[in-house]
Amino acid sequence: MGIYTAPGVLAYTVNGTKLSTDLSLSPGTYNATVEQWDHCGGAATTPITIKVISSSSSSAKTFYNL
């Protein structure tokens, strides 16, 4: 399973059925894709939009079960 932050830009991969990671992203809007691969060469994808803004405070957000 992996996270693409842009077309062809694989930012994270994991062997398994659960994603749990932190990604450092510069401010901007990301049309990301989560993709899961099966053992037969198939894949399923889910698009997500992530908007990152710069902030001087510690207002970081963590998202679960996307």
Whole-angstrom distance, CA of residue 58 vs CA of residue 4: 26
Q: What is the DSSP string of the chain?
A: -EEEEETTEEEEE-SSS---------SEEEEEEEEEE-TTS-EEEEEEEEEE---SS---------
Domain parsing of the chain, residue ranges: 2-18+26-52
- Phi and psi (nearest 5°) for 65? 55, 50
pLDDT of 25 reads: 87
pLDDT of 17 reads: 82
pLDDT of 18 reads: 86
Q: Which two tokens stand for residue 66?
A: 């996307």
pLDDT (tens digit, 9 = 90+) per residue, 27-66?
999 999 999 999 899 999 999 999 988 866 666 666 666 6
